[in-house]
């Protein structure tokens, strides 16, 4: 993978439309009061065999881009599991 080099730019090098942030309101003192520090869920690296048409479906993704297809599979599985866990909890509560 090629490395991307990012260099510091002087104010003179920043295009006016980027430097002009006057339409962005100032943050008030309470902006961060209810902020939460969140860490992503730890993911486990596994090997899984799936039907090829299922993989192709997730690789098509929004705009036909394969980028993020593994995250889409993970999100779908998470939704499935959470749904079934809530159903189990409802059954136990009866």
pLDDT tens string 34-84: 888 877 788 999 999 999 999 999 999 888 888 999 999 999 999 999 999
Total residues belonging to the chain: 94
Whole-angstrom distance, CA of residue 64 vs CA of residue 61: 5
For the whole model, what pTM was predicted? 0.54
pLDDT for residue 37: 80
In this structure, what DSSP letter does residue 21 have?
Answer: -
pLDDT for residue 12: 67
pLDDT for residue 85: 94
Whole-angstrom distance, CA of residue 60 vs CA of residue 74: 15
* Burial status of residue 23 (CB atoms within 10 A of its CB: 0-12, 13-18, 19 or more): exposed
Residues whose CB falls within 8 Å of the CB of residue 50, separated by 6 or more in sequence, listed in order = 73
């Amino acid at each position: 993978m090629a490395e991307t080099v990012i260099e510091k730019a002087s104010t003179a090098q920043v295009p006016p439309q980027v430097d002009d942030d006057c339409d962005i309101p100032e943050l008030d003192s309470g902006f961060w009061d209810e902020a939460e520090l969140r860490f992503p869920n730890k993911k486990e690296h596994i090997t899984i065999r799936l039907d090829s048409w299922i993989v192709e479906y997730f690789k098509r993704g929004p705009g036909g881009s394969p980028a993020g297809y593994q995250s889409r599979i993970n999100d779908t599985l998470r939704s499935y599991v959470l749904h079934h866990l809530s159903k189990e909890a409802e059954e136990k509560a009866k």
